[in-house]
Amino acid sequence: MPAPTAAERRPQALDPLGVVLLGAAVLCILVPFIEQRAWHSPLRLALFPLAAVLLVAWVLHERRYGRTREPLVSLDLFRIQSYVLGAPVGLIYFAGFVGMFFILTQYLQLGLGYPAWKSGLAATPFALGGALVSSWGSRRALRRGPKLLAFGLAMVLVGLVGVWLAVGAHPGHDAGLWTALPLLIAGLGGGLVISPNLTLTLSEVPVQRAGSAGAVLQTGQRIGTAAGIAITGSVFYNQLASSHGNFASAFRHGIVSIAGFVAAALVLTLVDSFTRKS
């Protein structure tokens, strides 16, 4: 890593209070999502406003601490447009893409009686598509910019529509076969999202901020994962109850909520594309 210049050197410290405040805030955000179906007390929802208070306290602390020492996360990161728009894209996309495998597994194993290995095999086309293009997309991310990301997200939406149609036409035991092609298309799109988004989001971040900037992105992805599974799972199980055990209907409703996450990520990416300085 390049050595910092004299102007960039600042006293190093662990920033223990910053670690505690941010860690507690993230915990208060994640626990209500993770325990959604097991913890029904109103105290669970009370953790969200507590998380907001902790985040405000963390921001105020980081601003003060950063005047003389290197803070846990420099707030200057949030003045970089590509970072401010790219970070939520990752969070929102993870909310959709991880939630999809959760409800797909429920549908195939509980609804259709697939063994675990067979339901895993049915989801493999998505992983295969991502593996095929992720390296290619990452190498071209800086040259093609957010447009490449937008194209990938549009492909994911096309794949999700294909999955929705396939399950509607073939909801029986061969559903795993009929969803293979649309899952492959969604996976090809996904391969143009995750790695290229990381490249573009961090492209304007100063080298000395790279570690904390990457850590914030990873934290956002974990929050997105927990929130996506909770929200998509709620849609799935509520529809399952109202349709008297119709797993295909529940799965298709879950796909609609996932498509909503992907569409929101696409909107943010298009905003970045149209407002980014060339």
* pLDDT value at 110 more than 90: yes
Mean pLDDT within 116-125: 94
CA distance 187 to 90: 16
- What is residue 12's predicted lDDT score, i.e. its pLDDT? 58
In terms of pLDDT, which residue wins out, 129 or 71? 129
* Mean per-residue pLDDT of the chain: 88
- What is residue 74's predicted lDDT score, i.e. its pLDDT? 83
- What is residue 4's predicted lDDT score, i.e. its pLDDT? 58
Classify the C-alpha dihedral 84-271-134-95 as positive or negative. positive
DSSP string for 203-263? TTS-GGGHHHHHHHHHHHHHHHHHHHHHHHHHHHHHHHHHTTS-HHHHHHHHHHHHHHHHH
The pTM of the full predicted model, rounded to 2 decimals, is 0.84
- Burial classification of residue 34, based on how many CB atoms lie within 10 Å of its CB (0-12 exposed, 13-18 middle, 19 or more buried): middle
CA distance 245 to 75: 48
- What is residue 278's predicted lDDT score, i.e. its pLDDT? 52
* pLDDT value at 2 more than 90: no
What are the pLDDT digits (tens) for 247-265?
Answer: 999 999 999 999 999 999 9
Cβ atoms of residues 194 and 133 within 8 Å: no
Confidence of residue 6 (pLDDT cuts 50, 70, 90): low
- What is residue 39's predicted lDDT score, i.e. its pLDDT? 82
Mean pLDDT within 193-201: 89
Cβ atoms of residues 123 and 100 within 8 Å: no
Confidence of residue 81 (pLDDT cuts 50, 70, 90): confident
Mean pLDDT within 81-109: 91
* pLDDT value at 75 more than 90: no
- What is residue 159's predicted lDDT score, i.e. its pLDDT? 96
- Collapse the DSSP code of 112 into the 3-class scheme (helix H, G, I; strand E, B; otherwise coil) and give the result: coil
What are the pLDDT digits (tens) for 84-96?
Answer: 888 999 999 999 8
- What is residue 20's predicted lDDT score, i.e. its pLDDT? 92
The CATH number of domain 79-275, selected from 3.30.300.30, 3.40.50.150, 3.30.470.160, 1.20.1250.20? 1.20.1250.20
* pLDDT value at 188 more than 90: yes
Confidence of residue 38 (pLDDT cuts 50, 70, 90): confident
Residue 93 CB contacts under 8 Å (≥ 6 apart), including other chains: 153, 193, 194, 197, 224, 261, 262, 265
What are the pLDDT digits (tens) for 132-186?
Answer: 998 888 888 888 888 999 999 999 999 999 999 999 999 999 999 999 999 999 9
